Structures are given as structure tokens and as C-alpha cells.
Amino acid sequence: MRILVTGGAGFIGSNFIRHMLRTHPEHQIVNFDKLTYAGNLENLRDVEQHPNYRFLAGDIASRGDVERAFELGIDWVANFAAESHVDRSIEGPDVFLQTNVLGTQVLLDTARKRWLPSPIAPETILERGERRHLFLQISTDEVYGSLGPEGYFTETTLLSPNSPYSASKAAADLLVRSYHHTYGLPVLITRCSNNYGPYQFPEKLIPLMITNALEGKDLPVYGDGLNVRDWIHVEDHARALDLVLHKGQPGEVYNIGGNSERTNLEIVRFILRELGRPDSLIRFVRDRLGHDRRYAIDSSKIQRNLGWTPLRHLEDGLRATIAWYIENRPWWERIKSGEYRHYYQRMYGGK
């Protein structure tokens, strides 16, 4: 199959591409990425000469760019491309709607026209069990909103997104669903919890805290630090997506989670302990607007139906991730010394 991986130069997309090239010599990968501030071809240096890999610069919200990609003969789409940071969506939602909603619609529309010259009943695709064409939407548990101390998100939990980021992802999910229901496009949707691992942009909690601690800077914790996230190693996510593409039922949603709920303070204190730095580096700062209190995923459906299970234990995975950031200092120092510095000043300067 020739797989169009959009957003493949970002954190999860680049880890997914590496996983697919390693485990599926039968597939060709086209990495289609706009290379925004978060896209970095250095994330894929080790595979850029791989015979089954090629890069194509482009914007998912541009019909011309997406048409050019489909001219290569695309069988499957894995849509990772997105604006992905909640804090940036609070500062400026426009680009989130442009990329996450309109971009997804352009991809869906192009796939529909190329793959389904005439509409086909979704039941027909299911009956045939065909995997000739697939559109995988990589979504997030944040579309479900926020949980209290009890309970879990299941695939049937009502969508109640709280940030412009999660609202744009929820809108995209619903568009993907509608293209299946209306046109019979063979789609799959996954909703995953918070990822961590190598190549994560240092604006997100874990890489920000590791790199700040390495630089001897303050660690800015929002509010009381007791918000809970369910952490999953990015390689466990990549394996789950691989399985959904090969075995998932078109039209279905699959939750993916790490079964590793921790408060932000637990994560930050663990990182400080591992690096031998004092807790006094923690600086409590003004809370994020509309900050979701707790996310927790029930991933029993993918475990039961597709036989997936997360393999990386959180503390081991975190130790390996800390080691990666220590060994790859030039990778994140280049990022932190560029445009990102102005962002950091803007976001954290007055808090």
C-alpha cells in the first residue's frame, strides 16, 4: 500500500513512520507536511534515504497540494497533521480551525473523489471487508472533555470538547464520521491519551520539564498541579495505529490509552528526582484557561477486538525519554533557541 502520512514530520507522525518502515517493508510511505513550527525533518534523518520513504511538502488545507499528493496513487491516509497545542489554541484559534477542521475536510473530499467516483453504501464496504482504501483520523481523548475523580472515557462518551484545540479535533471527527455515513468512505477514528517519548516538541509538559530542568530553569506548573493525564509511550500509540489500519473495522472509533494516570506534579517530581534536581525548581503559575481536570481512557475495545495492549511501563518509558533528551541536546537546543524563545516569553513571561 502507498500510505499518505500527513503531519509526518511532527512528534507522533515521525515515530509512526519509523515504526512502519521497520515493521512493514510491503508499504510505501509518503510524508506530507507543511513544516510549521512543530514540523522538523530532523526527526526523520535516519530514514530519509529509505527506499520506501519520501517527503512531499504541502498543506492539508490546500486542494492543490493535496491533489498533487494523491496523484502519487494513495491507498491509505493516516491524518496526523494538526495544530496540536492547547495553550496556542487559547492564544489564537484561527489556525486550529483552518488546519484541523478545513484541512481534514479537504483531505476527506479529495479521498472521496479519488477513491469513490460514485457513492457507495457503507454496508457494502463492511460486507466486502475491503481494505483497498482507508482514511485513518488520528484524534484525541480531549474531544470527550473533562472527567471528575471517577470514571473513564469510552468510545460512546458524549463529545464535550472544552478548548479551541479539542473543539477543532471534535469537529474533524464528526466530519470524518459523516463522510463514512454519507458517502461510504472507509474511515477509522482513533482517540488517544497524552503521548510522551523521543522527538516531542518542548512546549508540551514532559519535554518542557525535562529540558528546563537540564537547563536549570524553573518548571512552570499550572494551577495546583493536580490535573490528571493518562500517559502513553508514543511507540505503544504507533503500534496501536498500525493494528487499527490492518485490522480495524471501517466506520469504527477506537480509544487508545496507557493505563497510567498521574497528576502533573507526580510527573514533574519524578523528572526532577531522576535528574537529581531539587523540587524548589517547581514554580506554580497561573492556571490555563478552562483547564481540563482529568482525562482517563477505557481502551478495552481495542484490547478485546484487536488484541492490542500498551507495553511500556510509564516510569521506565520516562527514564528512557529523559535519557533521549540528554543524548539529543542539540536537537532541542536548536528549537529552544529559535522562534520558540519568543513564544515562551509571551506565554510564561507575565505568569
**Residue with smaller CB distance to ligand NAD, 31 or 122:** 31
CA 338 – CA 38 distance, rounded (Å): 12
Looking at beta carbons only, is 138 or 213 nearer to ligand NAD?
138
Q: How many residues bind ligand TYD (CB under 6 A)?
A: 13
Comparing CB distances to ligand NAD, the nearer of 21 and 86 is 86
Residue 340 a catalytic site member: no
Q: Binding ligand TYD by CB under 6 A: which of 28, 139, 190, 194?
A: 194
Residue nearest to ligand NAD (CB): 10
Closer to ligand NAD by Cβ: residue 35 or 281: 35
Task: Look up residue 199 and give its DSSP letter.
Answer: T
66 or 221, CB closer to ligand TYD? Answer: 221
Segment contacting ligand TYD by CB under 6 A, of 5-13, 24-32, 34-42, 201-209: 201-209
- Phi and psi, residue 320, nearest 5°: -65, -35
Catalytic residue among 33, 59, 83, 141: 141
Residue 152 CB, nearest distance to ligand TYD (Å)?
Answer: 16
Given ligand TYD, ligand NAD, none, residue 221, with its beta carbon under 5 to 8 Å by kind, binds ligand TYD
Residue spans of alpha helices (H) in 45-103: 63-70, 86-91, 94-96
Q: How far is the CB of 142 from ligand NAD (least distance, A)?
A: 7
Q: Is 59 a catalytic residue?
A: no
Tell me whether residue 189 or residue 272 sits nearer to ligand NAD (CB atom): 189
DSSP 8-state secondary structure symbol assigned to residue 101: I
In the bound complex, what is the minimum distance in angstroms from residue 126's beta carbon to ligand NAD? 26
Q: How far apart are CA 1 and CA 17, in angstroms?
A: 14
Question: CB neighbours of 178 closer than 8 A, spacing ≥ 6?
Answer: none
| Closer Cβ to ligand TYD, 1 or 347, answer by number | 347
Element (H, E) at 253: strand 253-256
Binding partner of residue 186 among ligand NAD, ligand TYD, none, CB cut-off 5 to 8 Å per kind: none
3-class DSSP state of 216? coil
60 is an interface residue for ligand TYD by CB under 6 A: no
Exposure letters 289-325 (e unless 16+ CB within 10 A, then b): eeebebbbbbbebbbeebebebebebeebbeebbebb
Among 158, 173, 155, smallest CA distance to 108 is for: 173
What cell does 6 get? 500527513
220 binds, among ligand TYD, ligand NAD, none (CB under 5 to 8 A by kind): ligand TYD
Extract the C-alpha cell encoding 125: 464496504
Distance, CA of 299 to CA of 254 (rounded, Å):
8
Q: Helix 264-274 and helix 314-327: axis angle, to 10°?
A: 50
Helix, strand and coil content of the chain, in percent to the nearest 5, comes to: 45, 15, 35
Grid cell 481523548 is found at 141
Q: Using an 8 Å Cβ cutoff, are 190 and 161 in contact? A: no
Q: Which of residues 216-255 bind ligand TYD (CB under 6 A)?
A: 220-222, 227, 229
- Min. distance of Cβ 59 from ligand TYD in angstroms? 23
Among 205, 234, 272, 282, binds ligand TYD (CB under 6 A): 205
User: Taking CB within 5 to 8 Å according to partner kind, which of ligand TYD, ligand NAD, none is near residue 192?
Assistant: ligand NAD
Question: Would you call 165 a catalytic residue per the annotation?
Answer: yes
Q: Which residues bind ligand NAD (CB under 6 A)?
A: 6-7, 9-13, 33-36, 38-39, 59-61, 80-84, 99, 103, 138, 140, 169, 192, 194-195, 201
Task: Return residues touching ligand TYD (CB under 6 A).
Answer: 86, 142, 194, 204-205, 208, 220-222, 227, 229, 264, 288
As annotated, the active-site residues are 141-142, 165
